[in-house]
Amino acid sequence: MVRIADVIKLDKKLVLASSSARRKKLLEMLGFEFEVISPDIDEQQISNEIYDFSLKVIEVAKAKALKVSQLINYESIILSADTIVVLDGMVLTKPVDEYEAKIMLKKLSNRTHLVFTGLALLHTPSFTYKTCFRRTEVSFRQIEEQEIDAYILSGSPLDKAGAYGIQDDFGAVFVKSVNGCFYNIVGLPIEAFYSSLKQFINELENKR
């Protein structure tokens, strides 16, 4: 069976600079073989003074890729990503505890919020890079307190920006509509990654 990874013909090692199980699963779905190296950076320190949400996620994604590039000594393309949830101009990060998760989900109930994901592709050893971002509008239905409590008991909201994952059973039934890339909400906009990787490979070939 031919996979997307077979079509793109990547001849360099692909490294995923992320600890996200969701991003890993999406890359596997496309048929890519890759190494996973989790970057250790202070995302808040990088993004706190950046007020443009698209630039915020791009800069954090770039920082993740650069951090991982320091840990490898072979030719590669490093893929990194950063996702944020924005409601009323405020960024909803990963909740620190169940109480904060409940507050976030109550705020999202019956409202429309935005999800931004920035991607960075970094080639080593040349340190050439390519970035892009995607923006998606997500509308929640009115969610009941018992539904929020049940979702929090699952533990799933605690490792997700905005305290929900659309791929979860609860997350899926909370979402009323999506305007934009669905996979952007999961954390890896697949079309953006595929298109950017194709262009990046061509750019690297043309520089030879």
Of 30, 66, 57, nearest to 161 (Cα)? Answer: 57
User: Is 159 among the residues known to form the active site?
Assistant: no
Which residues share a beta bridge with 80?
A: 120
- What's the residue count for the chain? 208
Give buried/exposed letters for 37-46 (b at 16+ CB in 10 A, else e): bebebebeeb
Three-state DSSP class for 44? helix
Among the listed residues 82, 149, 159, 169, the single catalytic one is: 82
Handedness of CA 158, 80, 190, 74 (dihedral sign): negative
Distance separating alpha carbons of residues 66 and 71, to the nearest angstrom: 9
CA distance 84 to 56: 9
Q: Could you give the 3-state DSSP secondary structure of residue 166?
A: coil
- The catalytic residues are 82
